Structure 1
């Protein structure tokens, strides 16, 4: 998956500061530049990072997605192998990243809203999910992506709901090659959002600004944000400015193409890692020699992790390659198409780093040359190919839908029954009464949307539900896409 890569270079320091204030039970809803944050919390290790790059299909080696997500997409597991819930209050949590660059915002709002519900709604079984709603939902987004509609919708809704959400905006003044003057009014997102700042008389946001290279200020900003969000259930926006993007936007581009020499020099001077190193030395935390030793050790660790992950990735493939070569060699010995089969075999031998596609293609082509033949060796090749493809199906296509015992297809349907005395009513009454039973049976059922609360939906499908079950469980919201 190395054709296209995006990294968090230039954004490392604020991620360290954020990690310091992130507690068990909290949730992250971020995007593909947060690997420093994940590593700081011990949720991602160097070898796992490379296994994701190689798209390793082993969930133990590549716990983010077993090779199914793009590189830089992170998550934690909320379910046990049997489909039961883990205790989310005893682990640090991350929702699964999504590649569209503001797609994390709506789920960030939902995660924060969950904490508010757990704090204020009595009778919920919160044992594995919340401790009195103390959990913060932490979000990250790039400055250019704040131009997207999902960002503004989420910002407004979180201010209305007053939920424990901390959103960090990584601001390096560019959206790929496009400077802020072309995508952000006033070139300053926190300035144009300043009307959301709470006052003594009106609720809203706490808005903080901090430079991304100033570690002391970053620590204070994130500690302050965490206290406000966790204790008061007030959303906090942290505008992290003066960040850099030293490698360009991605592996497919270089920032030298669109930044002038003055800007490039400024970025070299303000690189947060460089400034962090200077702060460490000035504070007497470590010497130049000690830092040099650490840097050498880290580089060695990364090189070793890269090699180990690649070797582990290739091991199974090379083993399968050896088996397949031997099977083709045996079947070719008695086949009229020996020359064609040997060419396939030799081409596979010459492929030093095969992928599963190479093995599948070679096996299937070999079987086509064996049509009409009936030998034990051919049957061995058929058996191997069948098993290989079945394993691939499991690796690449499993769990698209739930495979747990509680999956929907395991639940027996109950058909409606009628009799001569059945009353004829409007369809909305059936819907309303069904919702009533759901609310009664499942205390964790919520419904919210425009007009669903006070008037019980424009079509009266929720008539009386807010009065019966309260404004938290049956709520009105503004218009949202």
Structure 2
């Protein structure tokens, strides 16, 4: 289907046709728009009195909010908004008090419990997904939320697990014109069109991104003109200062999405009568004549005059309505200022889950072995995902190359791929294209969509093909995935598992296939980081990751995938291992060696050499998870041996070894008989040439030398 477009009406033309709206409805629009503007004004006054701490307004966008909201249902539709959408949230059910509680940072703030600044909307009651500050992150999440509905319509039993699922639900995703410059906007449109998702993207174009005008931001000055090549994307423009025009055009696009004709985009042209925020002064970059022209087009001023012209109201009746609205906002403000901020002891609340926590003893189980055959890490990771998908229809697996074969009928002729390392091989053939499928080659797309699905109740297990390419997704992982539960005060959670391969020791991996940068993720509150070293641990830890309610980064070392020494027996379909439970893999008395991943085997080899050649008894601890870190097991061992050596694959400086060493020095200093030492990779990128890689990565000889040096201290 060809892209459809509709030109914007002249912005100074008043529509005689009211699109079926009654005078009562228009008065309702006016009141909501007015209340929205009054809340802005009250927040501005409070900020100047230093009674709130930040302000950003929705002024100029009110007509878009009310015209759009008239067509949606907060009981079945989902909303991914941005900071100008005050009028929209009021129209779907929020109150001025809800907004002012956020402004004062009250514990009762329904969006975040005092964790986020004003105009970061979120409300589980109305399916308003929690909004964050990084602009553009909502696009892919909105696509994922719509995709959850698509999968639920095709996968037996899934619909009953989703929040407010309906056959004709739609997802609204709003943005300013400036944020359409973000790459994730284009990724989201690509997937929405490719999957024919019922997403209505609304571009609220006030012609400025802070101080940058639209013609500088966007080629040709119109993002909707740039989008005409997207297949099946219906594009319409409207006068965003006229709620009647917004109402009419938005109604057509909402119906288009509900009828499952594909995604749509509404390009609404509006004004920005106030500065970007109170941290900005638009007079520094906008000429006076421009500001005057904007003021003449103010949506509230225009609608007020129109109501009187059409005979729907009088000057006196509107004055009475306005006085009542002012009193409502004043009362809400007074009430909000009485509400306390969150208590100090709540600072860690909702950082991680309290239900189905991966630290719970409930995840401690004994293996139930079947046959004696030893299996590789690849085998047991694959069997874990297969068994979990059989148990729970909420689980989907997707990412680049994870499917067996994507083209229709191909699996009848080929064996199937199932990932670069075959970890997902056979899953698509077994569970079908709606539960196992390939994504675009876009890492943010993978994680962003997974967040939207998880918000609605699904449990995505996604794969980023190589750790070295995870960085486009880092924005979604750190700013969105890891913060969602905390910033929504526990109202929303994102139980997503992000699997990725990492590490060196495979000749030729070089700079972009050998990284081990786990500390950038362990430094991210709200995220669990898992790093198994053998097949059975990988199976049990992955099962815990899938079943728990926290987001998990699951690191799988390429070198360990098919090693003989770390093979294990299948521990059964219910085998789980709690996070934060390190394992003593070798008992010792003279020195504690703390390690993880591919360095476990090298440390064990070095420890055996040290004992046979030097008579040094080394206790080796496999951490298994980096976040949480099991300091109890480390402390028990160090108190026994009185010496500690940390060995890891990442670069030496600022790595996990630095953190563990600091905590040992801080918490266990009285028991130490020597310095805490570290062995790690050199502070340089891993090179392609095998001789260089050998020098850069820690080897058995490096670990043995460090054991000898510390033992002799």
- If the length of structure 2 is used for normalisation, what is the TM-score? 0.51
The 3-state SS of whatever aligns with 2:383 is helix
Give yes or no for contact 2:93–2:126 (8 Å, CA) kept in 1: no
The 3-state SS of whatever aligns with 2:395 is coil
> What is the CA-CA distance between 1:123 and the residue it aligns to?
3.0
Indicate the residue corresponding to 1:273 in structure 2: 300
CA distance in 2, matches of 1:392, 1:477: 43
| Corresponding position: 1:165 with 2:199 | yes
Indicate the residue corresponding to 2:121 in structure 1: 74
Written as runs of structure 1 = structure 2, the 5 A alignment for 1:94-243 is: 94-126=128-160, 129-196=163-230, 198=231, 204-232=232-260, 234-241=262-269, 243=270
| Structure with the higher helix share, 1 or 2 | 1
CA distance in 1, matches of 2:63, 2:358: 45
Indicate the residue corresponding to 2:76 in structure 1: 25
Written as runs of structure 1 = structure 2, the 5 A alignment for 1:250-269 is: 250-269=277-296
| Corresponding position: 1:245 with 2:281 | no
Indicate the residue corresponding to 2:45 in structure 1: none
CA distance in 1, matches of 2:112, 2:163: 23
Q: What per-residue deviation string (whole Å, max 9, x for no partner) do you get for residues 433-468 of structure 1?
A: 221111111111111111112232222112121121
The 3-state SS of whatever aligns with 2:220 is helix
| Structure with the higher strand share, 1 or 2 | 2
Of residues 108, 124, 127, the one that matches 1:93 is 127
> What is the CA-CA distance between 1:398 and the residue it aligns to?
1.3
Of residues 96, 106, 112, the one that matches 1:56 is 106
| Corresponding position: 1:480 with 2:442 | yes
> What is the CA-CA distance between 1:479 and the residue it aligns to?
1.0
Give yes or no for contact 1:115–1:164 (8 Å, CA) kept in 2: no
**Which 5+ residue runs of structure 1 have no aligned equivalent?**
78-90, 199-203, 314-354, 357-390
CA distance in 2, matches of 1:107, 1:128: 15
CA distance in 1, matches of 2:81, 2:140: 11
CA distance in 1, matches of 2:368, 2:155: 35
Give yes or no for contact 1:64–1:73 (8 Å, CA) kept in 2: yes
> What is the CA-CA distance between 1:124 and the residue it aligns to?
2.1
Indicate the residue corresponding to 1:414 in structure 2: 365
Indicate the residue corresponding to 2:345 in structure 1: 393
Indicate the residue corresponding to 1:438 in structure 2: 388
The 3-state SS of whatever aligns with 2:70 is helix
Stretches of 4+ aligned residues off by more than 3 angstroms = 130-133, 415-419
| Corresponding position: 1:15 with 2:65 | yes
> What is the CA-CA distance between 1:122 and the residue it aligns to?
2.5
CA distance in 1, matches of 2:153, 2:289: 51
Q: What per-residue deviation string (whole Å, max 9, x for no partner) do you get for residues 309-348 of structure 1?
A: 21344xxxxxxxxxxxxxxxxxxxxxxxxxxxxxxxxxxx
RMSD: 2.0
The 3-state SS of whatever aligns with 1:25 is coil
The 3-state SS of whatever aligns with 1:195 is coil
**Which 5+ residue runs of structure 2 have no aligned equivalent?**
1-50, 406-416, 444-713
Indicate the residue corresponding to 1:447 in structure 2: 397
CA distance in 2, matches of 1:399, 1:3: 23
| Corresponding position: 1:65 with 2:112 | yes
> What is the CA-CA distance between 1:131 and the residue it aligns to?
4.2
Indicate the residue corresponding to 2:557 in structure 1: none
Of residues 289, 304, 309, the one that matches 2:331 is 304
Indicate the residue corresponding to 1:459 in structure 2: 421
Give yes or no for contact 1:164–1:229 (8 Å, CA) kept in 2: yes
- If the length of structure 1 is used for normalisation, what is the TM-score? 0.75
Indicate the residue corresponding to 2:688 in structure 1: none
